[in-house]
Amino acid sequence: MSSPRKTPTFYTVAWRWHFFAGLFVVPFMLMLACTGIIYLFKPQLDQWMYGELLNVPASSQPMHPADHLAGVVQQRYPGAALLKYQPPATSTSSSKLVIRHQGQKLGVYVDPYRATLLGSLDENSTLQAVVLKLHGELLMGKSGDLLVELAASWGVVLLVSGLYLWWPRGRGKLAVFWPRLSAGGRTLWRDLHAVTGFWGVLFVLFMLFSGLTWTGFWGEKFAAVWSQFPAQMWDDVPKSDRKALTLNSTEDKVVPWAVEQTPLPRSTGNHAEHNSQDAGSAASPASIRLQQVVDLAKARQVVPGYAISLPDGPEGVYTISVFPNDPRHEATLHVDQYSGKVLADIRFKDYAAVPKAVEFGVALHEGKFFGLANQLLMLTICLLIIFSGISGIIMWIKRKPDGKLGVPASPADTPLWKTALILMLLLGVAFPLVGASFLLVLALDALWQRLPRRAAA
């Protein structure tokens, strides 16, 4: 007499969804980890690749005013529009002026003591600019940003389902915390994959969530809810119809995440007669001098390393911003281009609790907060992500039949898993792109399972 057939467990269901999530997520996670490693070591790589542009001999003579340095650049690049000025962060640093010249965005480096040009770089073609575009939007613009966000969101599903699969079933308790190195074959790869995933799950979740805050859909909605400031901060400030986030791009961060949702002030001064001037000019004759903005930043005790973005059009403002390694020293100032009046001065102390946490998370994510040790910690997490992805691929190759995808079977008589359904609904609400794609995958999976039956009929 044959024994009764064993009722299928939810393990197979979790495995199936883990497989689907991994099939989509792993290529993206490998790309994000590899590009993240390159960006982690941006300070060292920049010094190695562009040291002759970034460094100058210290001198006892005073530095030239910013306007003089801008004039030197204008002589070399006639007709160029000055977009940004970055004063020297140290006594041995060069000044950097970002210009738009003949349709090209150039970073021009100048010796601030001797007012000599050191060279220039195409701002869109440096190693770090390309890596950032690949890391944030796959070099595809908005559609690439949405794909990266979708992959990161499904990464959460991958981790949650992976934790369920990791949970001990018939194994010794020690085996779930340490791989059975003597097992060999697919069992060894499974242990390596599961155990390293368990030990790294919190770190990987941190990387996913801190990265998601910068995405174009979820990150913007998250910021709109949590990154709020008292409205009275702008009671007596002329406001444009733009938000500060319009100053940011994937490769050029002008304002911090915490400030993105704030209204962008506009310049008025007493110079409305200049509103018909050419919007592409660097500054009108009535505008304050660039050096005045530098002096203002010093007077307001903005820490070195800040940059000054020049006004965009007749109503644009000077924006002083700094992204130090310690986010507690962040500062964002908007200055009227005609009167020199500070229209907004936003510091870390003005942030609410969630934006403060996000800014700390970003600093940790980028490996900046506590120096080389922070870089090495993030490098370890990136290597763990790479190993988890590769070991998952090896497991799949070892188990899948030749010529088939190797999708784990979905038993027809598995009862409704209410806990998993509720969890997926919560993830779908928290991450709308996951919810929409989850419904799509369900539909495709149902179609996939019906196809063989139709063929056999």
Report pLDDT digits (tens) over 263-311.
999 999 754 444 444 444 444 446 899 999 999 999 999 999 999 999 9
CB 305 within 8 A of CB 324: yes
- Given a cut of 50, whether residue 189 has pLDDT beyond it is yes
Instruction: Kindly report each contact of residues 431-440 with a partner whose C-beta sits within 8 Å and lies 24 or more positions away, as own/partner.
Output: 431/153, 431/156, 431/218, 432/217, 432/218, 433/146, 433/149, 433/150, 433/153, 433/217, 433/218, 434/150, 434/153, 434/154, 434/156, 434/157, 437/150, 437/154
**Predicted confidence band at 234 (pLDDT cuts at 50, 70, 90)?**
confident
Given this model, what pLDDT does residue 108 score?
Answer: 98
Torsion of CA 250, 252, 256, 257, to 10 degrees: -10
pLDDT of residue 283: 44
Among the residue ranges 85-89, 302-306, 388-392, 450-454, the one predicted with the least confidence is 450-454
Distance (Å, whole) CA 260 – CA 246: 8
- What distances in angstroms separate CA 391 from CA 158, 169, 191, 273, one per listed residue? 14, 21, 10, 66
Total count of residues recorded for the chain: 457
Look at 43 and 283; give whichever has higher pLDDT: 43
* Gyration radius of the chain over CA positions: 27
Q: Which residues of 244-277 are buried (b: 16+ CB within 10 A; e: fewer)?
A: bbebbebbbbbbbbbbbbbbbbbbbbebeebeeb
- Whether 58 shows a pLDDT value over 70: the answer reads yes
Highest mean pLDDT among 146-150, 248-252, 403-407, 430-434: 146-150
Helix (H) or strand (E) holding 30: helix 10-40
The pTM score is: 0.86
Dump pLDDT digits (tens) for 298-324: 999 999 999 999 999 999 999 999 999
Closest CA to 99 of 84, 118, 115, 121: 84
- Give dist(CA 298, CA 423) in Å, integer: 51
Q: Please, which pLDDT band fits residue 438 given cuts at 50, 70 and 90?
A: confident
Share of the chain above pLDDT 90, in %: 57
pLDDT value at position 34? 97
Question: Cα separations (Å) of 221 from 218, 224, 226, 261, 428?
Answer: 5, 5, 9, 10, 14
Q: Which two tokens stand for residue 54?
A: 């970034």
The pair of structure tokens assigned to 41 is 């070591």
User: What integer pLDDT is reported at residue 401 of this predicted model?
Assistant: 74
- pLDDT digit string (tens) for 346-365? 999 999 999 999 999 999 99
**Stretch 410-429: mean pLDDT, rounded?**
67
In this predicted structure, which of 225-239, 348-362, 373-387 has the lowest mean pLDDT?
225-239
Is the pLDDT at 5 greater than 50? The verdict is no
More confident call, 44 vs 423: 44
| H or E stretch covering 211 | helix 185-212
State residue 412's pLDDT score: 58
When the pLDDT of each residue in the chain is averaged and rounded to a whole number, the result is 86
- Decide if 55 contacts 279 (C-beta within 8 A): no
In the three-class reduction of DSSP (H, G, I as helix; E, B as strand; rest coil), residue 86 is classed as strand
CA-CA distance, 158 to 160, in Å (whole number)? 6
pLDDT digits (tens, 9 = 90+) for 389-418: 999 888 888 877 777 777 676 655 555 566
Is 90 exceeded by the pLDDT of residue 174? no
Where residue 7 falls among pLDDT bands split at 50, 70, 90?
A: very low
The better pLDDT of the pair 451, 253 is held by 253
Asked if residue 449 has pLDDT above 60, the reply is yes
Per-residue pLDDT band at 169 (split at 50, 70, 90) = low
Higher pLDDT, 373 or 182: 373
Least confident of 113-122, 163-172, 214-223, 310-319: 163-172
Mean pLDDT value of segment 58-67? 94
pLDDT at 437 over 90: no
- Residues 143-161, mean pLDDT to the nearest whole number: 89
Nearest to 291, CA basis, from 82, 1, 65: 65
Average pLDDT over residues 357-382: 96
Question: In the structure, what pLDDT confidence band is assigned to residue 175 with cuts at 50, 70 and 90?
Answer: low
> Tokens representing 169?
């079933």
The pLDDT assigned to 198 comes to 84
pLDDT of residue 282: 45
**b/e 61-74 (16+ beta carbons within 10 angstroms → b):** eebbbbeebbebbb
One-letter amino acid for residue 20 of the chain:
F
Q: Which helix (H) or strand (E) holds 146?
A: helix 142-166
pLDDT band per the 50, 70, 90 thresholds, residue 44 = very high
Q: How confident is the model at residue 162 (pLDDT cuts 50, 70, 90)?
A: confident
What is the model's pLDDT at position 445?
A: 67
> Are the CB atoms for 227 and 261 separated by under 8 Å?
yes
Task: Give SS3 for 348.
Answer: helix
For residues 210-220, one letter each, b for 16 or more C-beta atoms within 10 angstroms of the residue's C-beta and e for the rest, the string is bbbbbbbbbbb
DSSP for 114-126 reads TTEEEEEEETTTS
Q: Is the pLDDT higher at 84 or at 169?
A: 84
Q: Is 269 helix (H, G, I), strand (E, B) or coil?
A: coil
Look at residue 454 and tell me whether its pLDDT is greater than 50.
Answer: no
